[in-house]
Amino acid sequence: MLASRVGKRDPDNTQDFAQQLRATTSGQFQISTDGFTPYQTSIPDAFGYSVNFGQIVKSYSNPQEAERRRYSPPTIIKTERKVVCGNPDQSRIGTSIVERHNLSTRMHVRRMTRLTSAHGKKWENHEAMLSLWYWYCAYNFTRVHSTLKSTPAVAAGLATETWSIERLLTEVAKVERKYATLN
């Protein structure tokens, strides 16, 4: 994960997320998002119009009365891949990886499980929990992957050894202090 943003899904947070993503990347690559309209200006504003950027836009059915009583997503009736700018590979425009990551987050972080009372009352605690989750699971410095037999961070050369939880917390605190001095 190169960037994350905790907040409402609105144009301001989208712009801030795009700027954070730009600050953590370099070189030429492809960006894919869902059809959320603010991405259409935020990504080109952050990266310039030469970025290879496409969106996957899904159209959903209008749920019948019986479907509205249960909690389930509507049926997708159409999917359209749209080039916003640059020259993205249209066959690779998609959000499956992010959607799978979001599912893993909801399944492992109790406060993110839908229809539950395991939520927190303080925004700061919510952000802290998500930060720990991303460092523990998404960045995978401490959690050994069953297929790799090591952490993905070790496999990718980002770390030389599996970190303890104590080291994880120490490193996160360093990053937070550095970030605080920049702002």
pLDDT tens digits, 35-46: 999 999 999 999
Residue 140 has pLDDT above 80, yes or no: no
Model confidence at 178, pLDDT cuts 50, 70, 90, reads confident
pLDDT tens digits, 36-74: 999 999 999 999 988 999 999 999 888 777 666 666 777
176 to 83, 113, 129: CA distances (angstroms): 36, 26, 14
Single-letter amino acid, residue 28: Q
Map residue 57 onto helix, strand or coil: strand
Residue 114 has pLDDT above 80, yes or no: no
Q: Give the DSSP H or E segment for 71.
A: none
Q: CA-to-CA distance for 62 and 166, rounded, in angstroms?
A: 49
Domain extents for the chain?
Answer: 11-94, 139-182
Average pLDDT, integer, range 23-32? 90
